C-alpha cells in the first residue's frame, strides 16, 4: 500500500507557472501609477468644483477608470509576488 503511494507520488510534476512571470512587476507598477494618477485627477476635480458646476458623469468616469487601473495593478502585484489568484 505504501509502495503504491510512493510510486504515485513520483509521477507528480512540480507546479510551474502557466505564464512567464517577468512582466507582472512592470505591469503592476504601470497600472498602479495610472490608477493613482486618475485618483488624483478625480480628487482635484471634486475639490475644485462647487455645487453649481459639478459634472457627476465626468467624476464617475474618473473614479471608474481609477478603480479599474488600481484593481489591475493589485492583481499584477499579487501575481508578481507569486500569489496565484
pLDDT of 82 above 90? no
Instruction: With CA atoms as reference, report the closest residue to 39 among 18, 15, 67.
Output: 67
pLDDT of 2 above 80? no
Percent of the chain topping pLDDT 70: 92
pLDDT of 58 above 90? yes
| Domain locations in the chain as residue ranges | 21-80
Max CA-CA distance within the chain?
Answer: 79
H-helix or E-strand spanning residue 84 = none
Note whether 35 and 74 are within 8 A (CB): no
pLDDT at 84: 79
Report pTM.
0.73
- Determine the Cα–Cα distance for residues 14 and 64; give it in Å rounded to an integer: 40
Amino acid at each position: 500500500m505504501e509502495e503504491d503511494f510512493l510510486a504515485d507520488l513520483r509521477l507528480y510534476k512540480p507546479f510551474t507557472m502557466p505564464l512567464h512571470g517577468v512582466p507582472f512587476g512592470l505591469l503592476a507598477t504601470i497600472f498602479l501609477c495610472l490608477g493613482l494618477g486618475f485618483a488624483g485627477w478625480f480628487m482635484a476635480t471634486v475639490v475644485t468644483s462647487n455645487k453649481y458646476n459639478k459634472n457627476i458623469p465626468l467624476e464617475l468616469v474618473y473614479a471608474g477608470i481609477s478603480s479599474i487601473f488600481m484593481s489591475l495593478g493589485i492583481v499584477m502585484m499579487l501575481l508578481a509576488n507569486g500569489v496565484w489568484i
